[in-house]
Amino acid sequence: MKGYSFYSILKHGMRRKPRWPAAWHDVSPQRSYDAVIVGGGGHGLATAYYLARTHGMRRVAVLEKGWLGGGNSGRNTQVSRSNYFWPESAAFYDRSLQLYETLSHELNFNVMLSQRGILSLAHSHHELETMRRWANAIQVNDVDSEILSPQQIKKLEPLINLDTRFPVRGGFIQRRGAISRHDAVNWGYARAASALGVDIVQNCEVTGFDLRNGEVRGVETTRGSISTERVCLAVAGHSSQLAARAGLRLPITSMSLQAMVSEPIKPVLNTITMSAVIHMYVSQSDRGELVLGGGADVYNSYAQRGGLPLLEQNVAAMLELFPVFRGLRLLRQWAGTVDISPDTTPIMGLTPVKGLYINAGWGTGGYKAIPAGGETMAHTIVSDSPHPLIRAFGLDRFATGRLVDEGAAAGVAH
């Protein structure tokens, strides 16, 4: 992709009326496609982009029931990391982080990737042992991680209070851990995909599937029927709803995941700091807001609204670590509906319906996986077999019992 640069801003800036080209084109759906991606979030758009760019597929549509990036891709707290325990997870998420590292250039769209490091805190000697296990596993997985002493943590994040109710005994950092701009990632992929001929259709809800002999023949939408033999579901939060229309039951529960921001202030935080024991993480956006979050409201919900108990818990936890922020104010609280899978690992790849591919179960951490999710799903769709990086993430793992349980090692995920 080209077209955006300081020069182009200068050029357009001198004009009286802006004449920037559309970032992406909205189109009406055609009658048939080689592949249809359901869901215009980051994963769906990235899948379409890599289908077109890497595999040369030209007749691809992304169908979005609302507006692009309106689901969790536009509601998350923008963290990318690959500090995973299991080799399968580490390989996948590190590929994703690598793609993020070059994404602005790849898309010619500045996603403002800020690799300020993700710092995980341990609050007891035993937690430090678990953390060491985690950090060493990450190193064996060829991903960067460093164990830090409390003093090193204090140096890195001077405002932190080490002497909390659960004193900080140490921690570890993945320095490549990053935040970026979620909207920019969505728009960047949309623009690049659109430029490669992908049809982006907003306000088009998939209402059913045309299945014959257990194979996909097309989808029914609020804007008419579309015939296609390859359909990819990338509708995290509503995966069960869509899959049910294709006759599938999924091991997924939808819950509300909250996030919240403070009023914007000048830079005070250097890292993304997370603590599993006190259940929260916090970073500061480039705009200056403190962005914090924790777990999900633990009951089924599609309400996209956050509850009060978790808000109080998150804020109290953040102030326990950073008491100097107590006089700041909380600006906004929101929530997204996330797919919680039994082992906190995504569900990706083939389904019992031929031609129907699934990308779901992201739990609290789908944002960081967008580039690799798109890349591997594109490969999976084209070859009708799972990409090697996602072979362990298949829906079939639940019957064999071969779960990939990151929950055991990762604590708060996001």
For residues 60-99, which are near another protein according to CB under 8 A?
66-68, 70, 74, 87
* Distance, CA of 409 to CA of 387 (rounded, Å): 25
Element (H, E) at 47: helix 42-53
> Which residue do the tokens 């590292």 mark?
101
Closest CA relative to residue 81, chosen from 170, 145, 31: 145
Residues from 207 through 266 that contact another protein (CB under 8 A): 238, 240-241, 244, 249-254, 262-266
Residues from 361 through 400 that contact another protein (CB under 8 A): 398-400
Task: Let me know: does 168 contact 123? Beta carbons within 8 Å.
Answer: yes
* Distance, CA of 183 to CA of 77 (rounded, Å): 11
Identity of the residue, 155 or 305, whose beta carbon is nearer to another protein in the bound complex: 305
Binding-site size for another protein (CB under 8 A) equals 127
Q: At what angle do helices 182-195 and 42-53 cross, to 10 degrees?
A: 30
Could you tell me whether strands 170-174 and 146-148 are parallel, antiparallel, or unpaired per DSSP bridges?
Answer: antiparallel
* Distance, CA of 30 to CA of 337 (rounded, Å): 30
Q: Which stretch binds another protein (CB under 8 A): 27-35, 43-51, 221-229, 297-305?
A: 297-305
Q: Which stretch binds another protein (CB under 8 A): 45-53, 221-229, 308-316, 382-390?
A: 308-316
Candidate list 5, 149, 383, 385; residue touching another protein; CB under 8 A: 5
Candidate list 225, 229, 268, 391; residue touching another protein; CB under 8 A: 268
Q: Which stretch binds another protein (CB under 8 A): 51-59, 134-142, 148-156, 382-390?
A: 134-142
How far apart are CB 225 and another protein at their closest, in Å?
A: 20
Calculate ∠ Cα 43-392-56, nearest 5°. Answer: 45
Residue 151 interacting with another protein (CB under 8 A): no
Residue 311 interacting with another protein (CB under 8 A): yes
How far apart are CB 320 and another protein at their closest, in Å?
A: 5
Q: Which stretch binds another protein (CB under 8 A): 5-13, 221-229, 371-379, 386-394?
A: 5-13
In angstroms and rounded to an integer, the radius of gyration of the C-alpha atoms of the chain is 21
**Tokens describing residue 240:** 């069960």
How far apart are CB 122 and another protein at their closest, in Å?
A: 11
How far apart are CB 227 and another protein at their closest, in Å?
A: 26
Identity of the residue, 341 or 380, whose beta carbon is nearer to another protein in the bound complex: 341
Instruction: Specify the DSSP class assigned to residue 326.
Output: T
User: Other CB atoms closer than 10 Å to residue 196's CB: what's the count?
Assistant: 18
Cβ-based burial of 142 (10 A; exposed 0-12, middle 13-18, buried ≥19): exposed
Instruction: Specify the DSSP class assigned to residue 48.
Output: H
Candidate list 62, 97, 184, 211; residue touching another protein; CB under 8 A: 184
Identity of the residue, 98 or 136, whose beta carbon is nearer to another protein in the bound complex: 136
Identity of the residue, 169 or 230, whose beta carbon is nearer to another protein in the bound complex: 169
Task: Let me know: does 275 contact 412? Beta carbons within 8 Å.
Answer: yes
Identity of the residue, 5 or 385, whose beta carbon is nearer to another protein in the bound complex: 5
What is the Cβ-side half-sphere exposure of residue 394, based on CA atoms within 13 angstroms?
19
Q: Which stretch binds another protein (CB under 8 A): 180-188, 216-224, 363-371, 383-391?
A: 180-188
Identity of the residue, 32 or 152, whose beta carbon is nearer to another protein in the bound complex: 152
Could you tell me whether strands 272-275 and 199-201 are parallel, antiparallel, or unpaired per DSSP bridges?
Answer: unpaired
**Tokens describing residue 209:** 């599937």
Candidate list 115, 152, 225, 227; residue touching another protein; CB under 8 A: 115
Residues from 32 through 61 that contact another protein (CB under 8 A): none
Residue 155 interacting with another protein (CB under 8 A): no
Residue 181 interacting with another protein (CB under 8 A): yes
How far apart are CB 404 and another protein at their closest, in Å?
A: 9
Identity of the residue, 96 or 228, whose beta carbon is nearer to another protein in the bound complex: 96
**Tokens describing residue 322:** 């950073």
Task: Let me know: does 310 contact 335? Beta carbons within 8 Å.
Answer: no
Could you tell me which residues come within 8 angstroms of residue 296 by beta carbon, excluding any fewer than 6 positions away?
255, 256, 257, 258, 310, 338, 340, 364
Residue 183 interacting with another protein (CB under 8 A): yes
How far apart are CB 296 and another protein at their closest, in Å?
A: 11
Identity of the residue, 289 or 375, whose beta carbon is nearer to another protein in the bound complex: 289
Which amino acid, one-letter code, is at 151? Q
Residues from 337 through 366 that contact another protein (CB under 8 A): 342
Residue 27 interacting with another protein (CB under 8 A): no
What is the Cβ-side half-sphere exposure of residue 151, based on CA atoms within 13 angstroms?
0
